[in-house]
């Protein structure tokens, strides 16, 4: 590919001689613009922003300086500020942008596009050739990258998922190239700033938002990890409860904001186990009333632990009430029916289901069908029938992957609890001390 790009530029210089006639100042500004855009992922930390914006600079070059110019502009990707990018990758980036830029330029001219500063009267004639150039650039760019990934044995990295959406969004970004070229006649190089600045600001803000979401997720995951180290057998329990809760919430038509909150609630529902003495969690045999009370306190403890995290919002209700029952015999408050918050009714189903379908120290995992029957049996007394039905429907459609069989936990690292307070098939035995 690198060879092809050089051959292309050589051909432009020697055979066609067109490279010598290019408008040097426009070319320089476009190349600089491209270079800035290419270097931005490092600054922005949003990969897509850079790719999309830099390719609009190449497309603007197609109009303003023609195929050879677009190839030269694309070639400058070699010099982008991306610390740690190996030279061969730099050369490849430059080469594929050069080839795509050149091909797009050829398509543009072939469709009757005029190279040079567009006039206001001639702007309409630009649109069809420009659309043709963009329609070639985007798939070609994708194809060249896919070829290299396949040749280097990274075929699994080819972003096939969401490809259509990717193509459409990139064709949308192509419009920015047209805007830059169109405005160039009136405000010359400032047009790039006028067009791209708002885009960069929006992208930067979006990047900030993504970074914030990631740090939220990491915080929640760390808390879960802390809970799960207390019991070897519950590894992955929070994640699976979060997933199952999300399935139920989606099935009953919850909006994206609440969906996010219920997933957090699922992750954190048992965080209060951190406040229950490990010796109680690990005790073999029946618990005393006092010990059972300590377990029953875990939803409150959970709330105390995460109360300061304000983005959790509605998740608090889910954490606090996930052991309430429809018949009012649950804890900590003994709420019944609709008094139990919706989040808690969802988590109760997801929680019991995952507990039953996972291995415990005192029994093996039960099959999904058996656990489902158990949920049905408890519908109306322990569980909200609406949530049970929603979950059964979702699992019937999307399936459920139960955790893998637990091999005997390593004796030196693992702590295991003897009883699982979430298991509806084997309730904790309590003996009276009096
Ligand atoms: Fe719990």
Chain segment 373-422, per-residue pLDDT in tens? 999 999 999 999 999 999 999 999 988 888 877 666 666 655 555 567 77
Tens of pLDDT, residue by residue over 396-406, are 998 888 887 76
Ligand 1: distance of its center to the CA of 237 in Å? 11
Determine the distance separating the centroid of ligand 1 and the alpha carbon of 323, expressed in angstroms.
6
User: How far is ligand 1, taken at its centre, from the CA of residue 238, in Å?
Assistant: 10
- Give me ligand 1 centre to Cα 301, in Å: 11
Taking residues 268-288, what's their average pLDDT?
84
Q: How far is the CA of 304 from the centre of ligand 1 (A)?
A: 14
pLDDT at 387: 95
Closest Cα partner for 259 from 385, 161, 337, 346?
Answer: 346
Amino acid 168: pLDDT? 79
Q: Compute, in angstroms, the gap from residue 57 CA to the centroid of ligand 1.
A: 55
How far is it, in rounded angstroms, from Cα 226 to Cα 218? 12
> By C-alpha distance, which of 219, 211, 2 is closest to 89?
2
Query: Structure pTM?
Result: 0.63
Tokens of 131: 């659309």
**Is pLDDT above 50 for 365?**
yes
Find the distance separating the first CA and the last CA of the chain, reported in whole Å: 84
Per-residue confidence band for 45, with pLDDT thresholds at 50, 70 and 90: very low
Dump pLDDT digits (tens) for 194-225: 777 776 777 777 778 888 888 888 989 898 88
Q: What is the CA(347)–ligand 1 centre distance, in A? A: 9
- How much distance in Å is there from the Cα of 270 to the middle of ligand 1? 5
Q: Separation of 56 CA from ligand 1 center, angstroms?
A: 52
Distance CA 349, CA 251 (A): 14
Calpha distance 32→79 (Å, rounded): 10
Q: Taking all residues of the chain, what is their mean pLDDT, rounded to a whole number?
A: 83
Distance 244 CA to ligand 1 centre (A): 15
Where do the H-state alpha helices sit in 152-189? 163-187
């Amino acid at each position: 590919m690198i060879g092809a790009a050089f051959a292309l530029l050589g051909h432009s210089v020697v055979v066609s001689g067109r490279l010598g006639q290019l408008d040097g100042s426009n070319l320089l500004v476009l190349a600089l613009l491209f270079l800035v855009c290419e270097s931005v992922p490092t600054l922005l930390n949003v990969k897509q922003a850079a790719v999309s914006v830099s390719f609009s600079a190449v497309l603007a070059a197609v109009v303003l300086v023609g195929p050879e110019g677009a190839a030269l502009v694309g070639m400058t990707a070699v010099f982008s500020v991306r610390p740690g990018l190996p030279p061969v990758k730099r050369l490849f980036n430059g080469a594929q942008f050069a080839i795509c830029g050149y091909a797009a330029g050829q398509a543009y001219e072939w469709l009757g596009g005029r190279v040079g500063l567009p006039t206001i009267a001639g702007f309409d004639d630009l649109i069809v050739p420009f659309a043709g150039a963009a329609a070639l650039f985007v798939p070609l760019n994708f194809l060249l990258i896919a070829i290299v990934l396949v040749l280097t044995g990274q075929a699994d990295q080819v972003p096939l998922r969401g490809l259509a959406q990717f193509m459409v969004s990139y064709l949308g970004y192509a419009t920015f190239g047209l805007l830059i070229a169109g405005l160039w006649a009136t405000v010359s190089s400032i047009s790039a700033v006028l067009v791209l600045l708002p885009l960069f600001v929006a992208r930067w803000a979006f990047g900030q938002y993504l970074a914030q979401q990631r740090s939220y997720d990491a915080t929640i995951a760390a808390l879960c990890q802390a809970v799960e180290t207390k019991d070897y057998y519950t590894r992955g329990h929070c994640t699976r409860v979060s997933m199952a809760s999300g399935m139920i919430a989606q099935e009953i038509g919850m909006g994206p904001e609440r969906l996010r909150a219920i997933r957090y609630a699922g992750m954190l529902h048992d965080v209060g186990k951190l406040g229950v003495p490990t010796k109680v969690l690990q005790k073999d045999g029946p618990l005393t009333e006092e010990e059972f009370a300590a377990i029953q306190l875990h939803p409150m403890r959970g709330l105390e632990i995460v109360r300061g995290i304000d983005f959790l919002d509605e998740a608090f209700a889910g954490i606090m009430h996930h052991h309430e029952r429809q018949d009012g015999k649950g804890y900590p408050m003994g709420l019944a029916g609709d008094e139990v918050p919706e989040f808690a009714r969802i988590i109760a189903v997801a929680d019991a289901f995952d507990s039953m379908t996972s291995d415990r120290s005192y029994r093996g995992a039960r099959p999904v069908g058996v656990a489902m029957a158990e949920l049905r049996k408890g519908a109306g007394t322990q569980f909200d029938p609406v949530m049970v039905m929603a979950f059964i429907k979702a699992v019937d459609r999307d399936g459920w992957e139960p955790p893998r069989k637990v091999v005997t936990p390593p004796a030196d690292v693992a702590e295991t609890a003897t009883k699982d307070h979430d298991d509806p098939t084997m309730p904790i035995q309590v003996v009276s001390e009096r």
